[in-house]
Amino acid sequence: MTENDQAGRHRAAEEWVKTEFLCWYDNDLEQVPSKLKTYELCLAVVKKQGYSLVDVPEGLKTLELCLAAVQEDGRALEFVPRKLKTPDLCLVAVKQYGYALKFVPEKLKSPALCLVAVQECGYALCRTPEKLKTPELCLAAVQQDPHVLEFVPRKLKTPALCLAAVQESGLMLEYVPEKLKTPELCLAAVHKCGLALYDVPEKLKTPELCLAAVQEDGRALRSVPEALKTSELCLIAVQKDCVALEHVPEELKTEEVYLVALQKSGYALKYVPDEFKTQERCLAAVQSNGYALCFVPDKLKTAEICLAAVHNDMCGCAMNFVPNHLKTHELFLAAVQGNGNALDYISNKMKTPEMCLAAVQDFGHALRFVPEKLKTAEMCLAAVRQSGGKLEYVPEKLKTLEIVLAAVQQDGNAINYVPEKLKTPELCRIAVQSIDSARARDVDFEKQLTEKYGKSYHVPSEIHKRQLESMAKRISKRRVV
Which range has the worst mean pLDDT, 234-243, 310-319, 375-384, 467-476? 467-476
Q: What percent of the chain has pLDDT over 90?
A: 75
Distance of alpha carbon 415 from alpha carbon 434, whole angstroms: 10
Contacts of 428 (CB under 8 A, 6+ apart): 17, 18, 21, 22, 415
HSE (CB half, 13 Å, CA atoms) of 324?
Answer: 1
pLDDT band at 438 (very low <50, low <70, confident <90, very high): confident
Q: What secondary structure does DSSP assign to 127-153, as a single string?
A: GS-GGG--HHHHHHHHHH-GGGGGGS-
Residue 315: predicted pLDDT:
85
Q: Which residues of 98-132 are buried (b: 16+ CB within 10 A; e: fewer)?
A: bbbbbbbeeeebeeebbbbbbbbbbbbbbbbeeee
Return the C-alpha torsion angle 233, 236, 238, 240, nearest 10: -140
pLDDT band at 13 (very low <50, low <70, confident <90, very high): very low
Residue 94: predicted pLDDT:
97
At 132-156, the pLDDT tens digits run 999 999 999 999 999 999 999 999 9
The enclosing H or E element of 6 equals helix 3-24
Q: What secondary structure does DSSP assign to 368-430, as a single string?
A: GGS-GGG--HHHHHHHHHH-GGGGGGS-GGG--HHHHHHHHHH-GGGGGGS-GGG--HHHHHH
Is 51's pLDDT higher than 50? yes
Kindly report the average pLDDT of the chain as a whole number: 88
Is 8's pLDDT higher than 60? no
What mean pLDDT comes out for the span 82-101? 97
Distance of alpha carbon 17 from alpha carbon 4, whole angstroms: 20
Residue 231: predicted pLDDT:
95
Q: Is 343 exposed, middle or buried (0-12, 13-18, 19+ CB in 10 A)?
A: buried
Distance of alpha carbon 359 from alpha carbon 337, whole angstroms: 6
What mean pLDDT comes out for the span 248-274? 92
Give 36 or 67, the one with higher predicted confidence: 67
What mean pLDDT comes out for the span 5-20? 45
Q: Rounded to whole angstroms, what are the CA distances from 343 to 99, 170, 306? A: 44, 41, 16
Contact 20, 1 (CB under 8 A): no
At 187-215, the pLDDT tens digits run 999 999 999 999 999 999 999 999 999 99
Maximal CA-CA distance, the chain:
95
Of 313, 312, 311, 368, nearest in space to 343 by CA: 368
| Long-range Cβ pairs for the range 14-17 (8 Å, 24+) | 14/425, 17/425, 17/428
Distance of alpha carbon 124 from alpha carbon 109, whole angstroms: 12
Give 314 or 322, the one with higher predicted confidence: 322
Is 97's pLDDT higher than 70? yes
**196-200, 257-261, 272-276, 461-465 — most confident range:** 196-200
Which range has the worst mean pLDDT, 40-49, 225-234, 459-468? 459-468
* 184 residue type, one letter: E
Is 397's pLDDT higher than 70? yes
At 155-190, the pLDDT tens digits run 999 999 999 999 999 999 999 999 999 999 999 999
Q: What percent of the chain has pLDDT over 70?
A: 85
Residue 20: predicted pLDDT:
47
> What are the residue ranges of helices labelled H in 241-339?
255-264, 279-288, 303-311, 329-338
Contacts of 316 (CB under 8 A, 6+ apart): 335, 339, 340, 341, 342, 343, 344, 345, 363
At 337-384, the pLDDT tens digits run 989 999 999 999 999 999 999 999 999 999 999 999 999 999 999 999
Q: Rounded to whole angstroms, what are the CA distances from 383 to 334, 401, 445? A: 19, 15, 25
Residue 464: predicted pLDDT:
62
* 105 residue type, one letter: P
Residue 435: predicted pLDDT:
80
pLDDT band at 429 (very low <50, low <70, confident <90, very high): confident
> What are the residue ranges of helices labelled H in 108-254?
111-120, 135-144, 159-168, 183-192, 207-216, 231-240
pTM (two decimals): 0.73
pLDDT band at 309 (very low <50, low <70, confident <90, very high): very high
At 441-477, the pLDDT tens digits run 665 555 554 554 455 556 666 666 665 666 565 545 5
Quick check: helix, strand or coil at residue 113? helix
